Amino acid sequence: MKNRGKCLLLMSVLLFLASLIGIFFDRLNWSDTHMVLVYLLAVLLTSTWSKGYIYGILASVVATFLFNYLFTAPYYTLSVYDSRYFVTFVVMLLTAIITSTLTSKIQISTAQAKNNEEHMKTLYTLTNHLSDVLDDQTLGKEVIRILSQFFHCQIELIFFGNKDNVKMSGDINNIKVDKFDNKEYMLKFKNIQTSYLCIESQCHYPLYGIKKILGVLILPEEVIKTMGDQKKELLLSMIENISLSLEHINAIEEQLSLKEETVKERYRSNLLRAISHDLRTPLTSISGNASNLISNGGSFDDSTKKQLYTDIYDDSMWLINL
């Protein structure tokens, strides 16, 4: 209502000024062409400074009647004695309407271009920030910050990790992280036919990976309903970028896990080799001394036997201590 009142006031002021200028030209006995051009300028400015077609077209009609009322005989009436003025009226009205329409189209195109620029800038910012993220917690904070600023609403994220599912929620200044575990919730996204599910006045967008669902992006349903087609397409592009970043993070985590397992296996093999070497030496001594006692125990004197028993005992205690 405020914008409509401002546009009508602007149109009235411009047409009033055009009429004053036309009266001044009429006092100077200038031709009617000058008045027509002044009114066309007023219509053009109305179309440029107001939004929509209606104000420019309305200004065109009013300007035609004002020209007839003020500058054609008989003056200060809407009657016309000279039929040639009808051609002037028609040309003036058509010119004004065409000018107003073209100006409005330029305004619409300019506004769309600005929206597209803003959308592409936001998408670039999101992609640029997520390209350097190496863990899902940092990714979640960046996604919540950027999307909250752009859509002006609270954003929530759920990550389906390998161990514990994590739910992140909050706005720009406050981010809350909770553990989340609900198998039935995950099953709802297996066979969905749309890009999101509506659950308790919220729209849940799944973040698909190559093999599984990596997470869910949650926005208020009222925000989605008020979005235009361009914003919805932008949101889907954002979701695709978030999914790719999550997939990249998961791939890095899997590689690190495999590398860690490889290192553990190598350490274990080295440890077993070291232990087997340390075990083999005393065991060889024990088994050799025991074999001598079994095979040749009767031929050994007491001191030799005692020495063999001592060696077996010492090696056994060394193994126990090891």
pLDDT digits (tens, 9 = 90+) for 168-179: 777 655 666 677
Instruction: Give strand pairing partners of 176.
Output: 169
Regarding beta strands 197-199 and 166-170, do their DSSP bridges make them parallel or antiparallel, or are they unpaired? Answer: unpaired
Mean pLDDT of 109-127: 83
264 or 179: which carries more pLDDT confidence?
Answer: 264
For the beta sheet containing 213-220, the strands, ordered from the edge strand earlier in sequence to the opposite edge, are 175-179, 166-170, 155-159, 213-220, 202-208, 197-199
CA 98 to chain centre: 40
Enumerate residues 6+ apart whose C-beta is below 8 A from 71. 22, 26, 32, 35
8 Å CB contact between 58 and 98: no
pLDDT confidence of residue 205:
92
Mean pLDDT of 275-297: 82
Question: How does residue 62 score in pLDDT terms, banded at 50, 70 and 90?
Answer: confident
Question: How does residue 109 score in pLDDT terms, banded at 50, 70 and 90?
Answer: confident
Please work out, in degrees rounded to the nearest 5, the angle formed at the alpha carbon of residue 71 by the alpha carbons of 69 and 76: 35
pLDDT(135) > 70:
yes
Instruction: Report the C-alpha gap between 304 and 322 in whole angstroms.
Output: 27
pLDDT(246) > 80:
yes
pLDDT(1) > 60:
no
70 or 1: which carries more pLDDT confidence?
Answer: 70
Q: Which two tokens stand for residue 165?
A: 């599912």
8 Å CB contact between 180 and 158: yes
What percent of the chain is modeled with pLDDT above 70? Answer: 89
Would you say the pTM of this structure is higher than 0.85? no
pLDDT(284) > 80:
yes
Please work out, in degrees rounded to the nearest 5, the angle formed at the alpha carbon of residue 63 by the alpha carbons of 57 and 65: 110
